[in-house]
Amino acid sequence: MSLSITVTSEEIIKEIKLSGKMSDVIEGLMNRKIINEEVELAEIKVETEELQQAADQFRLVNNLESAEATHKWLQRNQLSVEDFEEMLYFSIISGKLANHLFADKIEPYFYQNQLNYAEVVMYEVILDDEDLAMELYYAIDEDEMSFWEVAHQYIQDKELRRKGGYLGSVKRQELKPEISAAVFATNPPQLLKPVITSQGVHLIFVEEIIEPKLDGKKRYQILADLFSEWLKGKLQEIQTIEDSVAKM
């Protein structure tokens, strides 16, 4: 027996509410309205060629290698061709608006916040016992044990143990302040004396400090951050006005 289920718009809205995602949906709608208004004020336009390029790029990224594959994707996501074009259009104007507002602010922002973009390549073992951590520190420092041996013996997480405590490239803001201060004061490669935090006693080996560079990827990240903060500010302005009106 085949199963046929009909889903109504009201049921979709209820599901969004019950899943706790209504606030995200409303915020997305508000952001869309804010962007559309600002785009109109700035007289930002989108050319047909830009829409075609965006469509080609979207299909490439999503492995939609044929018209049939694209059509199936649209059906699966309940989108019409017009919806698809609107989605691409909004993506383009969002990018153009971000550039319009912040393209000339990227470099100043980067140099003012350069330290925040520094990264460290590091290995870490977290222990419960400070005396044990000191004992292991001196054992590694005096070549009685390797950091890998310590990691293999004391790390509980299987995957992290296999990697010898390797955390990869970690951003400064992802580290606890006490660890960040110690790590970025090193002259790599260097083993740090144990650092105590609320998590435990950290035994850390710093392999490399990666100095930030303003490359294309970093420019895009900063532009996205500035645009996101701008949108949050706009939403707060609207909320403040609504709260003021409600109190009148």
DSSP conformation letters of 132-161: HHHHHHHHHHTTSS-HHHHHHHH--SHHHH
Residues 154 and 179 in one domain: yes
Long-range pairs, 218-224, Cβ under 8 A, ≥24: 218/110, 218/117, 219/106, 222/106, 222/109, 222/110, 223/98, 223/99, 223/102, 223/103, 223/106, 224/98
Which segments of the chain have a pLDDT < 50?
1
Residues 148 and 99 in one domain: no
Q: What digits encode the pLDDT tens for the residues 58-81?
A: 999 999 999 999 999 999 998 999
Predicted TM-score (pTM) of this structure = 0.72
Residues 133 and 81 in one domain: no
- Provide the pLDDT for residue 114: 87
Residues 91 and 152 in one domain: no
* 225 located within any domain: no
* 153 located within any domain: yes
Residues 63 and 140 in one domain: no
Full residue range of the structural domain in which residue 57 is found: 9-103
Residues 145 and 191 in one domain: yes
Copy the structure tokens of residue 176: 């606890």
* 219 located within any domain: no
Amino acid in the structure at residue 240: T
* 67 located within any domain: yes
- Provide the pLDDT for residue 242: 67
Residues 15 and 94 in one domain: yes
Domain boundary among 103, 131, 165: 103
* 230 located within any domain: no
Domain count, the chain: 2
